Amino acid sequence: MKIRKEKGLTFDDVLLVPRRSPIVSRQDVDTSSWLTPEIRLQVPILSANMDTVTEAAMAIAMARAGAMGVLHRFMTIEQQVRQVERVKRAEGFIVENPYAIDQEATLEEARKLMERHDVGGLVVTNGTTRLIGLITQRDIMLAPDEHLRVRDVMTLPEQIVSVPPDISPDEARRILYEHRLEKLPVVDRAGNLVGLITAQDLMRPQRYPHATKDSKGRLRVGAAIGVTPPEMERAEALLAAGADVLVVDIAHGHAEHCIKMVKELRRTFPTAQIVAGNVATREGARDLAEAGADAIKVGIGPGSICTTRIVTGFGVPQLTAIMDSAAGVAELGRPVPIIADGGIKSSGDLVKALAAGASTVMIGSLFAGCEEAPGAPVIRDGQKVKVVRGMASLGAAIGRKAVERREEESAESQEDWDKVVPEGVEAVVPYRGHVKEILYQLVGGLRSGLSYGGARNIQELQEHAEFIEITPAGVRESHPHDVHRM
């Protein structure tokens, strides 16, 4: 038994000491940072892989803002793959493998397929690679009978304007304008359909200039997986669907089975970007990096709805955990970014986490109240709220069992609730509107923080950061006090 002499510190225990600053305007600073050695984000923030935080809608909004979302894993492989595909299809110059329908399908079937995939049109291929027709929402919107066939209303091949695969965005824009079209099928020299260009996709880069995109112009997205052997199948399916990052999701990442999983992923998918965690120590971060992780997720128990420290007695205050983990991976002599996961309540906490050595932060509860988070808002005591729950909470544990069985829990199959030891709680958070508004405030605070630190970018902030411990009186002084707030 031993007791560490140094104190463990978290965000409220310290302040950053202001420095002489050359920054004239906070718009002069660079907020970009590395998520992994190959993926850089303009906004160094991830939405957490929690079932009340990140599904496709949140991931799309995060990526468009220059950040990124990590899809939770508490769904079937097929469901998670569809979520990845939805994000990857949300933007891109050429939509590969556009959604298709048979010409003998009814208009009702076409409408439902468009609604399911949230698209405005379908190509008609009859199961081949040949373009037989094109049908859009405009074709079915005012149709007198939904039982009409697609062939009755679709645009025929001789009426369709198509383009070759090597067309440029400027040329595609010109053709769409000249012909007053919304969609351009992309057809190769052999007459095979290879993709679809839409007017909306051509306009989105102007609306979201800092969006996080891959080499094909598609939005980036991460996806969480577990550590059991069957999860290799999930990993393969997610990568095939276009997931940019695999996040090995386990409460205690410094465990043999997690390390083994990371090694197996690295061996099987050598080019995949792998994030692993969670850990809270120098040794934990270093061991996962040595196993093959490209980035390390740090945080044992700092989340607002996590009770791991109370239930188990284990954990490390988050600021110290970030510093120790960053020191651990620094010993390897190669870049292994740190993701600070949990405990972020404000932009000031974001700045402190980055100054302590994190490259990005992951946020859960703060985003759970946003419009893009799963679930609808409800009214409680006259206020709009949304539900958030820790992924080790009782409800999440029971739901996870249902997903693992791929069926609804029944009286015969339901695990006894008294055998579940939860390490999280379920709660409600205020409805906060769209996530882009929260990100704007967080990034604005980060920009101001960089200017106070005399730093043009996050690397300079880390190089020159000086923390000072404060007393409880200092904490009170840091908040509004001695006034009646309006």
Phi first, then psi, for residue 388 (nearest 5°) are -135, 145
| Residues paired with residue 196 on neighbouring β-strands, in sequence order | 95, 185
Phi first, then psi, for residue 466 (nearest 5°) are -130, 120
The CA distance from 372 to 83, in Å, is 14
- CB neighbourhood size of 156 (10 A): 11
The string of DSSP codes covering 269-313 is -TT--EEEEEE-SHHHHHHHHHHT-SEEEE-SS-STTB-HHHHHS
Contact 303, 366 (CB under 8 A): no
HEC string for 69-118: EEECCCCCHHHHHHHHHHHHHHCCCCEECCCEECCCCEHHHHHHHHHHHC
Contacts for 450 with CB less than 8 Å, ≥ 6 apart:
23, 26, 29, 31, 351, 456, 457, 458, 460, 461
| Residues paired with residue 388 on neighbouring β-strands, in sequence order | 427
The CA distance from 327 to 357, in Å, is 8
The catalytic site residues sit at 306
The CA distance from 236 to 40, in Å, is 23
Element counts in the chain: helices (H) and strands (E): 18, 21
